[in-house]
Amino acid sequence: MRKTYYFVITLFTFLSVISISDNLKGKKSDSSSLQQAGFLPRTEIFSKSEVKSFVVSDTLNWKLLGAIKFVKKQNKDYPDGVMYPIINSTLKGKNKKRIAMSGFIVPIDNTTYALSKNVFAACFFCGQAGPETIMGIKFRGGTPKLKTDQYVTLEGNFRINENDVEDWIYHIEDAVIVKGK
pLDDT for the residue numbered 82:
94
Task: Verify that 67 and 111 share a domain, yes or no.
Answer: yes
Distances (CA, A) of 41 to 33, 68, 98, 108: 11, 33, 17, 29
**62-92 pLDDT per residue, tens:** 999 999 999 999 999 999 999 999 999 999 9
Residue at 50 is within a domain? no
pLDDT for the residue numbered 124:
73
With H, G, I as helix, E, B as strand and everything else as coil, classify residue 169.
Answer: coil
To which H or E segment does residue 13 belong? helix 2-24
> CA 98, 136, 106, 175 torsion: positive or negative?
negative
pLDDT for the residue numbered 127:
72
Distances (CA, A) of 78 to 81, 83, 127, 157: 5, 10, 20, 31
Domain residue limits at 12: 2-37
Residue at 149 is within a domain? yes
Show the low-confidence residues of the chain (pLDDT under 70): 1-58, 125-126
Closest CA to 159 of 131, 181, 142, 137: 137
Residue at 46 is within a domain? no
Residue at 174 is within a domain? yes
Task: Verify that 97 and 131 share a domain, yes or no.
Answer: yes
Task: Verify that 27 and 110 share a domain, yes or no.
Answer: no
pLDDT for the residue numbered 22:
53
Task: Verify that 72 and 110 share a domain, yes or no.
Answer: yes
With H, G, I as helix, E, B as strand and everything else as coil, classify residue 80.
Answer: strand
